Chains A and B, each alone.
Chain A
Amino acid sequence: MTETAPIRIEDLVVDYGADAVLTGLSLCVPAGSITALLGGNGAGKSTTLATLLGFVRARSGTVRVDGIDPGADPDGARRRIAYLPENVALYEHLSASENAEYLLALSGETPAREALCEAFRAAGLQEAAWSQRLAGFSKGMRQKVAIAVALLRRTPVLLLDEPTSGLDPRATADFNALVSAVRDRGAAILMVTHDLLSAANVADRICFLDAGRIVEDLEAEGPDRFDIRALHRRFAVTERAAAA
């Protein structure tokens, strides 16, 4: 099962010169599941994403995106990844659909108009907003545009960077529902977050990252999924460790 997982990281070591950022990270996200990566500042969360996207080269270890090594073939890896940065910034003077079309073109795809409409609908973007310029969009609406693009691309991997920071509770709930829907289509989703509650709500697995490696790995169990109190304690410990 782990051999075929769309996201597979083994003993990953990444350093920026003398600074070791990832010190033997192993992580596996199977298809149709959501893994949340939690950790304090500087724990290596963003580096993990950057390595998957091929922006950062591994010193040692294995990284595979749908079987492809992003260090050797970044374009190949990126073809299999949909990535949402913390703030989805798009072209303000283009409309939602123009933005989507452009991003899709940059992904090598030219979807039919109906497919785009369907994706927007699936992403929960109101029809009135489709042809509006992006300038007035909220963060949640921008994310929906990006998710629509991800849906259309049908990538096996979805990477989310702090997707719920700055969203109000209602928008967070919407977003979580949307991400769950993407998972149900079979994508492997890795989300880096500070938002414990949201992670507990939507993730199938929560990993705590500290000093460049996974220090705790929890899987959702039963109807309550996670023990929120235990998570909080755990989170406080990693935060303190990061601060120290």
Chain B
Amino acid sequence: MRTTLLIARDELRLMIRNKVALIAVVLMTLLTLTAVASAWSHQQHAADLRARHQSEAEQAFDAQPDRHPHRVVHYGHFIYRPLSPLAAFDPGVDAFTGSSLFLEGHRQNTANFGDVRQSSMLVRFGQLTPAFILQTVAPLLLIFLGYGVLSRETERGTLRLLLLQGARRSQVVGGKLIALGAVTLLAGLPAMIGFALIAGKPGASALPMMITALGYGAYLALWAIIIVFVSACVRRSRTALIGLIGFWAVTVILLPRVAPDIANAVVPLESRLQTDIAIGRDLRRAGDSHDANDPHFAAFRQSVLDRYGVDRIEDLPVNYKGLQAIEGERLTSELFDQYARRAHAAQLRQNRIVQTAGLFSPAIALRSMSMAAAGTDLAAHQRFLDQAEAYRFDLVQRLNRLQAESVSYANDTASDAGADRRKRIAADHWRQMPQFLYRPASASDLARAALPGLLVLVAWLSLAGLLLTAALRRLGGR
């Protein structure tokens, strides 16, 4: 153990004396701090803005005057996707999904106004967040610091000298690993401080955060091992450096871009235009509430009349137009759900393809894991969309029921001068409508979603460890 620590200390001393390395570490620290601060304030700002918009939208909804309930169906409601506390660490797809959704009757709208369409093209270069720094920049820094740990000694012949003096190979490699590990800890420290700050936020839960910390730890440890492994296998420092940068470029930069393209090609998504037209087609087939001769609604009307034992709509104790609206909404929503489920299933298939690519790129595995744990992945967005749709359906049906029960059929169909006044119901009905409350995924759900990525990382780590052990035997043999 003493030998190992001595070797580690020697290596660290060398790194400290290397001015370039020192400057790199300082720059990296500054960059991380900037990222932590900027991501933190961006998250805070976005969360506040959305909360403010949400309360404004609720006030506007509640402040509606006396209205016909169907007017309110069309007036609709705006809801905003709240930002998870961990978005300050890894905002994931937040910028790429719209943050606001307009809910109205007969329609399922897209979430609009995502940052990606409101920013310059710079946003496509990546986002400066602690997650980005740890995923992308930190490995490169480790490469710069560590490519020579063993190749340098091989190149200069000092490795054999060390071994001749009685140091065991495992001690040499262990010492180098400890040194690089210490630097890794140092490099990850600022991000971890930011992480700890976030942990203090309300709503941040321990389990997913622990998994995140574990995942990033495994990822950086993996890089340290890969670096020592490559450094042990080659005879020249230059080969180690070029090889490692190449590996980094392929796994961190290239594959994360290629995999989505493959996924897009293998599982094409239906365009919104095609979906809308298809829904329209299905709707016409299912029944059109606005069409008096529509067979579905003719049957529906008959069933209503039968239920109440009357012959004419006018004799119903409830407003038939309201019932018709309820039935119409049920039909359309069913279709919307069906298409949304299909689109979501296709996107899940795409993501699975990308996650398979994670077997070849630890960066992809880590990204999936990190977003899943932070609740900023597609699943979290889909969760929001699902809850929004459930809320929309409930809201619209409540309004339709109000129409059926609180507006008489006679008034609803009247067109005399005072009819408009008689169709309206009191404004306090709007205030009684429930408010949208997004229920974020539970801590255990987030942790479970993050687990596959973590497993891939652990598998990578074990494989790298095995490779390093194998390389150990040949070390200094040439």
Q: Find out whether A and B make contact in their complex, taking CB atoms under 8 A apart as touching.
A: no
Chain A interface residues toward B at CB < 8 A = none
User: Hey, which bits of chain B sit against chain A, CB under 8 A?
Assistant: none
